[in-house]
Amino acid sequence: MQSDETLLHDRPGLLAQPQAAELKAENVVVRFGGLAAISEVSLTVRRHEVFGLIGPNGAGKTTLVNCLTGFQAPTSGRILLGREQTTGWSPDKFRKNGVARTFQAGRLFREMTVLENVEATAVGLGLGRRAAAERAMAMLDWIRLAAQANRIAGTLAYTDERRVGIARALILSPAFLLLDEPAAGMSDGECEDLVEWVATIPQRFDCGVLLIEHNMRVIMDVCARIHVLDGGRSLAEGSPREIQENPAVMAAYLGMEA
């Protein structure tokens, strides 16, 4: 579609999309005092795939995403973006190098308009005002929120709020997008809609997606590969089918759903 083409090919030179093919955690450990929130976890998110990260509450999913985006320094182990070591990188440096995320809680500027919210992110990352406004509008068009551009963000429906959050993360064409429970609090139908839309992101934006989501049906539907954490440790990684048939996963995680 026309607007998608614009988003993909009309990138400002200054912000050409990084080319890293993988975002990788290698033997990552995170300790908070005596608690090991993450123990020796290794995983690789590839471009052009939706990679699922699942596990019970407190499994360490958010902590791992924090490591992959510079919000948490691993106690040991390392994060690699392509061939680059990211040790010491700030969240801002991750963002500028093409690693974007959303948070479990919305974090929109609630008193600003929808358009201003998306624009502000782009300006904050170095885009000029006019380019930021144009890109923000194209993005809102793509997520079908153009009609709400001038609405105060705090008055949006929950599902629309989440879309704006993802638009903000996508505005500078990241190479990797990490979504921490984007559908939390939604009905099953709303969750399915949102996740189906998320599943189109890798092809449209040339971007790998890491998706944390508790609804097993949607995660099995859209993910190429799934990594399971439990108590900070890797329990399994594989295709949706392999994960569904893994006895340890069923005992630790899927069993809880039944």
Which stretches of the chain bind ligand ATP, using CB under 6 A? Answer: 32, 35, 37, 55, 57-63
Cβ nearer to ligand ATP, comparing 59 with 171: 59
From ligand ATP, Mg ion, none, which one binds at residue 37 (CB under 5 to 8 Å depending on kind)?
ligand ATP
What is the nearest approach in angstroms of ligand ATP to the Cβ of residue 96? Answer: 24
| Interaction between residue 62 and Mg ion (CB under 5 A) | yes
108-122: buried (b, 16+ CB within 10 Å) or exposed (e) per residue? beeeeebbbbbbbbb
CA distance 69 to 65: 6
Name the segment binding Mg ion (CB under 5 A); options: 58-66, 121-129, 201-209, 244-252: 58-66
What is the nearest approach in angstroms of ligand ATP to the Cβ of residue 34? Answer: 10
What is the nearest approach in angstroms of ligand ATP to the Cβ of residue 210? Answer: 13
CA distance 114 to 138: 13
CA distance 171 to 194: 18
What is the nearest approach in angstroms of ligand ATP to the Cβ of residue 214? Answer: 7
Q: Can you name the residues that pair with 51 across neighbouring β-strands?
A: 210, 225
What is the nearest approach in angstroms of Mg ion to the Cβ of residue 194? Answer: 17
Name the segment binding Mg ion (CB under 5 A); options: 54-62, 113-121, 155-163, 245-253: 54-62
76-81 and 22-32: which strand pairing? Answer: antiparallel
| Interaction between residue 69 and Mg ion (CB under 5 A) | no
Helix axis angle, 114-124 to 158-170, nearest 10°: 20
Name the segment binding Mg ion (CB under 5 A); options: 46-54, 56-64, 130-138, 218-226: 56-64
Cβ nearer to ligand ATP, comparing 147 with 248: 248
CA distance 123 to 243: 41
Residue 73 parent element (H or E): none
CA distance 25 to 64: 8
Cβ nearer to Mg ion, comparing 148 with 165: 165
Helix axis angle, 158-170 to 129-142, nearest 10°: 130
Helices within the chain (DSSP H only) = 2-9, 61-68, 91-96, 114-124, 129-142, 158-170, 188-198, 201-205, 216-222, 240-244, 247-249, 255-257
Cβ nearer to Mg ion, comparing 123 with 158: 158
Cβ nearer to ligand ATP, comparing 124 with 185: 185
What is the nearest approach in angstroms of ligand ATP to the Cβ of residue 59? Answer: 4
From ligand ATP, Mg ion, none, which one binds at residue 1 (CB under 5 to 8 Å depending on kind)?
none
What is the nearest approach in angstroms of Mg ion to the Cβ of residue 22? Answer: 23
Helices within 16-124 (DSSP H only) = 61-68, 91-96, 114-124
Positions that interact with Mg ion (CB under 5 A): 61-62
